[in-house]
Structure formats: structure tokens, C-alpha cells
Structure 1
Amino acid sequence: MTHDLTPHDFLGVDGLLTDEERAIRDTVRDFARDELAPHVAQWYDEGTLPDDLGPRLGKLGLLGMHLEGYGCAGTSATAYGVACRELEAVDSGLRSFVSVQGSLAMYAIHRWGSEEHKDQWLPRMATGEAVGCFGLTESDAGSDPGSMRTRARRDAPGDEQSDWVLNGSKMWITNGTLAEVAVVWAQTDDGIRGFVVPTDTPGFSAHKIQRKLSLRASVTAELAFDDLRLPADAAFPEVRGLKGPLSCLNEARYGIVWGVVGAARACLEESLSYTSEREQFGRPLASFQLTQRKLALMAIAVNNAALVAWRLGALKDAGTLTPIQVSYGKYSNVRAALDVAREARTTLGGAGITLDHSVMRHMNNLETVMTYEGTEEMHLLSLGGQLTGIPAFR
């Protein structure tokens, strides 16, 4: 195991990676640094992403990379996590694009779709030719998705070969206006079901959410369905209830556990660089005891989060990772990353509030990451229920 005591790898976590995983790390890190980082402040400022982002990520094999077959790379879960980490070191919006494409839309089709769904969509989604989105959250149904109002009914009740008619809306949908296909969850007479919805279907509309203060280098939308007609085979054939969407969320949360380590690492590195160069009272800021305390605590938080991510990756690759462990990682790592970003911002003083530096952009992004894919409260309640045996959601 190599152990070079870099600020973000005091514990030698990257030495635990396989040769293939380290190669993926280096490839994604170089791509993110050279091709994405020089432009991300502009994308954040303008609230947009480049049109060719999907194909560029697909060319690297990053879309659905942890899935098997259908043009997907079939890497380890740990390799997928490492890729998420390197993308989020540039911006959370870039990791969100990959998460939604691979761990929500593609995973849903891969896990729950028919063979026809998989053949039709997954190869094109793996290359980035087709972008997907995932419609679960509604304006009045966030932490309680079972209360969703979007509904699908049979055109001819009782006839399982008749069309579906979909009505309702979904909110806070990443990639919503970019997507060629949407995985939409809706109430039916047979419980909550998932549907594969081509976005050019009459009755489908997507409206970009403007004036965001966070995750600006990410496209977020409201989806609306107005008597949208789908063939009978548009529905996922087997899964019923919340088991389907929650299994997808668990996949995406796993990627977040790794991704936020990258954001925290970037903040630590920028803080260390800035305070080593910036002088006050005739000496570098990094020479002051209080600054060194901040740097040391940030390094501890980054390294502990990296170790949590690696451990969950090892469990996932062994097939033993549980949803409650993912909740543990999602809460602890996002909270740690947000604390690091906030502390790093203070070490840059006034310079830290500008887009010339990354720390406040990361901090703003992490405010959203803390809330999506399960709020802090929901993950803590899940952990509390596990500890006590007493559910406290209601």
C-alpha cells in the first residue's frame, strides 16, 4: 500500500484501490481538471451546462459505469465512487449529471425495466447520446414520496393491454429539460409504478427552474404530464410500491457518499494553497496557530469521510451494503463536506466569496446536496429507528 501523506490522504485510502480503480481515478481526474474545471465557474455563473457534456462523459465510460451489459462498463462500485469523487472535486453539478443518468434513470431501467426497455434505451444512454431524468419528487411530496399525486390510469379500466394515461407533475428534476427519456413514478390502481416516458410524447413538458443559488452548473426542471398517453408496455413489469424508486435512490446516495469527499478535498486544497501564499503581519496566514487548527480539522474531516466512502464501496462490491449504511454515509459525509467548505471559506476572507475561488461555490452546492436524496432529518431518523427499533417518521 502506497502512503504519501498528502493532505487529503493521510490514511492512505487510495492505496486500498485496485490498479484498475486507480487508473479510472487518474483518467477522470485529468479529464475533470483539464476539460471541465477551466469552464465550471462560467457554467455556474450562467446557470447552464454544455450541450456536449453527455457524449464527453459517455466517451469516458462514466455513464452507468457500474452496470453490466447494454454498453455499460461494468466497473466495481468503488470505481464508480472514485469517478464521482473526481467529478465533484470540480463541481457537484457534474457529479449530479452522472448520478441521475447512471444511478437513477439507467439503474431504474436496468433493474426494473423490460428487456425491450433495456435494449431501447441503455446503450444510447451509456454513450450519452440520450440523456435521462428521474421523476419522483413533487412540490408537495418530497420526504414522503408515497403521498405523490401524479397518477396513471388505464384508458380501458381492467384491460391490461390498454394504454396508460398519465397526469400530474414532478419538481426539482435534474436534467429535466435535457432528457430524451424520463423515468416517472405514479400512483395507479395497483400501487405506485414506474413508467418509461419518452420526452417527445404529446402531453409532456419540462420547464427549467431559474434563479437558483445552488447547483447552478446543473439543469433542474419541473415536469408536467397532461393526459400523456403511453402504451401498456411503458410500465415496469414487476415492481410495485416504493421499493422501486427507493432502490434507485439508494444507488444515487452511494455516489454522493463518494462525491462530496471530492468537494471537501478541493476546499481543503484551495485553503491550504491560499493560506500558504497570503501574507498578513509579515507572515503567511498558514503560520498562525488558529489557521493551522482550521487546516488540521479540515484534513481530519476529509480523511475520515474518504475512509467512510471506501468502506461502503468495499461493502457494496461484496454485495452486503445495506440502505441504513448508505444513510450513515450520506449524512456523515455531506455534513463533513459542508463543514469543511464553510471553514475553508473563512480562511480565504473576502476573496472566498467570489467565483475566482471554488470554496463558496462548493459550499452553496453542498447546501443542496445536504437536502436532496433524503434530507438530514430523514437519514437521522432512519439511523435512530435502527438503533432503537422505534420508527419515528410519523
Structure 2
Amino acid sequence: MATDFADRWGFPEDKFWLRGERPKEPVEWSEELKRWEVYGYDEVNEALSNNDSYTADSAKLFNIDEETAKYFDGDLAQMSGPEHTNIRKQVSHAFSPTFIDHLQLRARELAEQYATELKDMRKFNLLSDFVDHVAGIVFSELLGIPADDRRMFRVVDQNMDQQAAMTTVNEGTENDYFEALTKPLQPLREMLGKHVDAKLADPKEDLISLLCQVEKLDGNQMTRDQIINFIIGILGAGHLATPLLTANTLLCLESFPAEFDKIKADHSLIPGMLEESMRFLTPGAVSYRATLTEVDLGGHRIPADSLLRVYLGAANRDPNQFPNPDVYDVTRKPNAHLGFGRGAHYCVGSQMVRVETRVVFEVLLERFPKLRVDPDITPLFFNSPDFTGVRSGGMWVRVD
């Protein structure tokens, strides 16, 4: 069943867990790539949760030049320690219950609007014609920028289309890897910088204005570059995650028609369905950590300052944690998946993603009860080995 799923949609071979393959050990050393590969659920959970022994600032292991390093300063995903906790706490106010209530209403309004525009179509592109608009407008409104500027968010897709992954092999070329991550983002940085300047001069009730007022532990406010880096860092949660989760979920439902029938009959199962999609076809399949101290992990003694590649996707298929892990079950309970991370770096926008995607599916199933993946057009996936998901514009659906 697992092999059939992966082969049907054409997932690349490096996503081995999608074919039901299990590593011999939960942790392995890759001599070729000079890094530790962490696959087991318990071991991945430990690396994500133990802030005394592991850090998300894996870039610290590389000799990054000053010009390149400035593009990571302020990125929440790369921060650690008390400063990370301090800034995250202040920013979390933007995702208050009041905002989530507003988000739900706004997402439904937009979803209904775009569904109406598509009502006479026999088929359409699920992402570029529908979901990207909903997620992009909501996120642009959260930031406090014009909705038309959301088109610039698409440059982030270029980073998810690169086939390179972080490794400590070939030392001296690491700047090429990090430059490849940052250079395509320059037009986005320039656009965001103009809005940061405007909010610094005239604050409003939006996320950029909030970031302009965040106070660091040293009493200073975040710099202009730090604010820009922070915004780019959360783009994945604020804009890209909803389209990824939506398309991935539809692939799962198409492959498990009995589960699709359950959802069609009972929309109250949609939240559980989304949790199972995050487990079964985890969009952010891989993350990185660096060891701060010597650690024992998965039966191995790992030195300090070692690079770990932690496989959230593989951990979410660990049979020691999930019975029948290669079966997609929309009623699976418990479902303590790692799709949104774990510990201090648990996705700050996870609730936003859950609400948006739930509303998207409610509207899709209400308005298009015959929704299905177009059998004549193969979905297109991001090339990055760190992500598993359909790229923007990469999924056509039929509704007739």
C-alpha cells in the first residue's frame, strides 16, 4: 500500500518512508555527507525538544561570511535560547484567540468568493486558482501590506525547488549553499523593507508594526534586517503551509477512497484528517539541529558541534509510535505527530494553518462535492529534499 501510494504520484526515491521503508537504526552516521541522520520518533523528538543539548542554529557550524550571515539574523527558526523565547512570546500576541476568530471568518469569506468565481469550471488549478489566494491574502492582511504584494511571496518557492541539502562535506563551499537560499529572496526583501520603513514611521494594528515594537533582551528593538528576516522565516507557516497541506491531503484522500467517503459524509472529521495528513505526508519533512554538547542518541555517542538531519517525515511513520503507520486513517487517535515540530520551535503559526486549511476543505467539499485530482495531469512536486509537497500551480482538480 505504501509503495503503491508513492509510485502512483511519483514521489522521489529519497522520500523512502513514503514507500514503507525503515532504516536499520533510528540514528545513523553518513560518512559521505558528514552528518548524523536521525529517523526514529523518540530520537527526533529528543533532538527537537532538548534545548540544552541541541540548537536550531545549525548555521553556526559553517564559516558563513558576514554578508550572508545577516540574512539569517532574526529568523525565528535559527534562533535559540532566552532571546528566542523572549521574541516568540511577544510575537505570539499576534495569534490571539481574537485573531483566530477573525481569521476563520475572513478565510471563509475569501474561500467562498473564489469558489464562486470557479463554479462554472469543470476543472481548475487547486493552488494557483484557489488556495494560494486565500492563504496569501490572509497573510498579507496579517502583515499589514496590500494584498497585491502577496505575489512576491512566490519567490520563496525557488528555495523549495533546490535539490541541495545541508551537509558539512566539502568545507569551504558552504557559502554557496547559503547564498543559494538567500539570493533569490532579494526582491522580496526589498518589498518587505519598504513596508517595514512605513510601519516604523506610522505603526498600525498588524504584525509588521508589532515586530517594529518588539524589545530584545538587551532593551533594543529588532533591526530593520531582523524584522525582514523574521517575516521571511514565518512565510512557510503563514502562507506556504496551507497550500502544501491542502494539496497533500487531497493526494491522501484520492489514494484512500474509504477515508474520503468518511470526510464527505461527516465534515466534523476534517480537523482529524488534517492531523493525519501532517503525519502521513509531512510537508516539512526534514529539519536540522547542531549538538551543543556531547550526546547519547539512538545508541550512538555524538560529539558536540555535530550536524544532525532530523527526519520528521520518517519519524511520523515510526511503527514504535504509530500502529499501522503506512495506513492513512482520518480517525487516528492518539496522533502525536511531529509535523509542526516539537518543543521551543513548535510552529508559531500552526493554529493559523489548521484553521485556514479546515475552512478551505469545508468550502471545497460544500461547493464541489465531486472534487478529485485530475487523472490526466500529474501533480508537480517541490524538488527540495527537505520538503514533501505539491508546488504552487502543481495540482489540477476536476469538479464535474
Q: Same fold (TM over 0.5)?
A: no
Q: TM-score, normalised by structure 2?
A: 0.26
Which protein has greater RCO, CA pairs closer than 8 Å, 6+ apart? 2
Q: TM-score, normalised by structure 1?
A: 0.26
Give the structure with the higher percent strand: 1
